[in-house]
Structure 1
Amino acid sequence: MQRRVRTRTIAVVSALGLMGVLGGCGVGGGSSDVTLKLVAADYGDSAANSSKKYWDDLVQRYESEHPDVNIDVSVYSWTDVDREVKEMVDAGNPPDMAQIGAYADYAAEEKLYKVGDLLSIPVQADFLSQLATAGEVNSVQYGMPFASSTRLLFYNKKLFREAGLTPPQTWDELAAAAEALQDLGVKYPYALPLGPEEAQAETMQWLLSGDGGYSDITSTYSIDSVQNVQTFTWLKDELVGKGLTGPVAPGKLDRAEAFAAFAAGDVGMLNGHPSLMEIAGKKGVEYGMVPTPGVDGESPTTLGVADWMMAFNHNGHRDQVGDFLDFVYSEENVLDFSRDYNLLPVTNSASRAMAASAEDKDLKPFLDQLPTSELYPVGNTSWATVNAAIKKEIGKAVAPNGSPEGVLGGLQATATRAENAE
């Protein structure tokens, strides 16, 4: 079992000028007029910034240099894309490529190409190491990271000034700041979204800050570890129980609602990813960002999330798919996508370029967190079951009559059953 992440990017040819020799063989292969089907997720929030525009431009540039290869791209919302791909696979008609949220189930069913059989050596080697590892099943990479993000603590600078506060570095400082914000009349001193939309993210962020996580050093689920129980006991007693998390019960508060409340000026602090910068900025909220507070100081690890590209082996066309993906993961294309959607590159080359660019200074704090980030265990086929259980149950751990030990123990039992069922 391994830890994984969520995001997207593009790779580059090595500085030595190696020409993308495919892990399989040359692109020609004697075929002509090949059509490759790609299903992709939409990272935009309207037709004006739909991912369709990004793919249309990229495909046009690729096809102009490869007249015998056509790329047919279908873009779906995140609500629909995973289901659409599953229905295609179940019907025996999978796309050649899919850019979605998880790959492990398809890899376990031997439906995917190995990344080493697709990409040129320089491109495969350019993936950030922890993301490449997150794309592995049984030490073989099947998932190609496509986009990524990390988390920081956002705080409302205006409210902090009015309360005479400085950004917290420890849990105790965070609780003290929340009390001061409560005294100021702030609606959500600390917003704790443990609702079903993305509870697994907020949960993992807190577990990591308490020196825990979803799994231990051997990649075995450890959801009910001593550290994790202590973390949720602290949350229940010191934040939720003292009314410092706002009028909506954490188990009923979704991330999108928490972000909207922050943009409305009603939240003092919350964990956020890069998209919150734009959401808050559009509403004129003056915000600051700092690393996640931990028990005794800045948390040594933050949550990393990645989305995935994968290639199905049903239709063949390995060489054409590999050549197209080499192009997708060029430094230029990875940077363009990351900048368009406030995401982090998944390659070393694009990450270095972003770190050195004044254009990307707003993303640099998140980029700095990526090398030490911890990913969801998405390389394990049991993760889908565990993820769904966390979203459904974790809010009960901090409810007035809730038991952190009982809820985390139940989740551990679910994880164990899911593992044994594989």
Structure 2
Amino acid sequence: MGIKKGFWRSSLWSLSLLAVLAGCGSNAAPDSNTSAAGTATNAAGGDAEKEPVVLKLTTWNPISQTVVDKFQEKYPYITIEHDKVYDQFREIIRTRIVSKSDMDMLWLFPNQVAEFSKEDVLMDITGSPWLDNYLEAAVKLGTVDGKTYGVPYNSQPIVMFYNKTLFGELGLEIPKTWDELLAVSEEIKASGTAPMVIGSKDGWATQFITTSQFGLYQHDNPDVFAQLASGEKKWTDPEFSTYFDGMKELADKGYLLENSVGLSYDQVAQVFKEGKAAMWPMGEWGYSENFDADFSAFELGAFPIPVNRGDQPLVTNLVSDNLLVGVSWSKHQEEIKLFMEFVADPEIAKIWSGETKQAVTVKGGTSETYSPLAASLQPLLDASEAQIFASMTSSIEPVMFPIFQQILLKQDVNTAKLLEQMQAAQDKDI
């Protein structure tokens, strides 16, 4: 969710990682004579005579102002008006769609694309030539019933941030399995430091130990979440019986920082930076949002969250959920397509990536310098399997996040009954 308030809101996450995810190689970048970057000059002739157009772009995260400026330079009759909705994005967008507000482009979560595609809300961009510039898996994420409505732009892995200095002092190796993670946590606890911190004030931030299992489910069955959404599978099926066990085990063993349950995302980041806990499960955006070049309390590292047990593979879950879509009732659909084509250019995407400090799903479009963690993290990511984070149907999150909070509070929980609650929520969407 950066994705800071979204659902599942390195130098670089290289193209090699994303190519593993997509299962395809990189296409060559467009010729510089025809690329958006190479032609970011005032459009000749007719554009100067066109009526001014304002394109309203709604997102929950910062965008690249440099890219916007270059687009407006190329198309001087178009102005991009950015509307950043930081909190309650889903609810606000739903209200605007119901009222058919004046909107042109916006980011949506994958399950919103699936939902709104059935309500004639979204522009159909199927077959647009510039879609070839994106990773195949990214295009697939925005495709519903054979029609493409959007493409997720940014891509960030879910990782375990850790105090590399403390690990070195204790002689600890990076864990690659759940059992190794528990063993490392026991040694850290014995040293007098809390092994991990997870706050529950912001429900979305509680999830990453548990939802990191999604990649394992997809490894076994790529269609598992579509089958849950259709009713073919149920959360009460045996394969999901241990879904909540990992988080419950961490809480029961005392591996979470005491009195931290009520902390917000920002407060959790702060206590981690203060060295009060050795590990913090979070999306890679946690780095760009909370650490800067002046941070020196300890050496920071990151590794894939090892929820794999037995012979299960180590999987890195990639969050790629900000799908750029056009609104069907916009009066400026041609201009929307111009913007979508523009940001699909790899050279333009590199500018976006570098400025927003995130990887992108445009092939060859991720900046080589966007993250200082990449040099140490990239080999670990390359050694794991990569999966795009699954999209939940709309009724799941409002039930799932409170369950995580309940577990973190170490309340008397019956996991079978919790899974029944999950399925009751799922039934609403079938």
Please report the TM-score for the alignment, with normalisation by the length of structure 1.
Answer: 0.78
Asked if 1:79 is matched to 2:77, the reply is: no
SS of 2:204 mapped into structure 1: coil
Aligned to 1:90: 98
Q: What are the residue-to-residue correspondences of 1:22-421 with 2, within 5 Å? A: 32-41=50-59, 43-44=61-62, 51=63, 54-55=64-65, 57-67=66-76, 69-79=77-87, 81-101=89-109, 102-116=112-126, 119=128, 121=129, 123-186=130-193, 188-193=194-199, 196-208=203-215, 217=224, 219-221=226-228, 222-237=234-249, 239-248=250-259, 252=262, 254-278=264-288, 279-280=290-291, 282-284=294-296, 285-293=298-306, 294-296=308-310, 299-305=313-319, 306-351=321-366, 354=367, 357=368, 362-363=373-374, 365=377, 368=381, 372-377=386-391, 383-397=393-407, 399-419=410-430
Give the superposition deviation at 1:161: 2.5
Aligned to 1:48: none
Partners of 2:210 and 2:247 within 8 A in 1: no
Cα distance in 2 for partners of 1:191, 1:263 equals 11
Cα distance in 2 for partners of 1:227, 1:249 equals 31
Give the partner amino acid of 2:341: D
Give the partner amino acid of 1:289: A
Partners of 1:136 and 1:143 within 8 A in 2: yes
Give the superposition deviation at 1:216: 5.2
Partners of 2:357 and 2:371 within 8 A in 1: no
Q: Which moved more, 1:328-337 or 1:298-307?
A: 298-307
Structure 1 residues 80 and 12: CA distance shift in structure 2, 3 A: farther
Structure 1 residues 199 and 226: CA distance shift in structure 2, 3 A: farther
Structure 1 residues 297 and 235: CA distance shift in structure 2, 3 A: farther
How many residues were matched structurally?
A: 384
For structure 1, the residue ranges without an aligned partner over 5 or more in a row are 22-27, 45-50
Cα distance in 1 for partners of 2:35, 2:350 equals 19
SS of 2:154 mapped into structure 1: strand
Structure 1 residues 231 and 299: CA distance shift in structure 2, 3 A: farther
Give the partner amino acid of 1:98: L
Structure 1 residues 206 and 269: CA distance shift in structure 2, 3 A: farther
Give the partner amino acid of 1:241: D
Give the superposition deviation at 1:198: 2.9
Give the superposition deviation at 1:84: 4.7
Partners of 2:153 and 2:362 within 8 A in 1: no
Give the partner amino acid of 1:71: T
Partners of 1:386 and 1:411 within 8 A in 2: yes
Q: Deviations over 1:313-336 (max 9, x none)?
A: 213432222112211222222222
Give the partner amino acid of 2:74: E
Cα distance in 1 for partners of 2:416, 2:220 equals 15
SS of 1:372 mapped into structure 2: strand
Please report the TM-score for the alignment, with normalisation by the length of structure 2.
Answer: 0.76
Give the superposition deviation at 1:411: 0.6
For structure 2, the residue ranges without an aligned partner over 5 or more in a row are 1-6, 10-25, 37-45, 229-233
Partners of 1:181 and 1:268 within 8 A in 2: yes
Give the superposition deviation at 1:16: 6.3
Sequence identity, in percent?
Answer: 16
Q: Deviations over 1:32-54 (max 9, x none)?
A: 3141422232535xxxxxx4xx3
Q: Deviations over 1:181-224 (max 9, x none)?
A: 111111x3122445513334443114545888998537222534
Give the partner amino acid of 2:344: Y
Partners of 1:215 and 1:223 within 8 A in 2: no
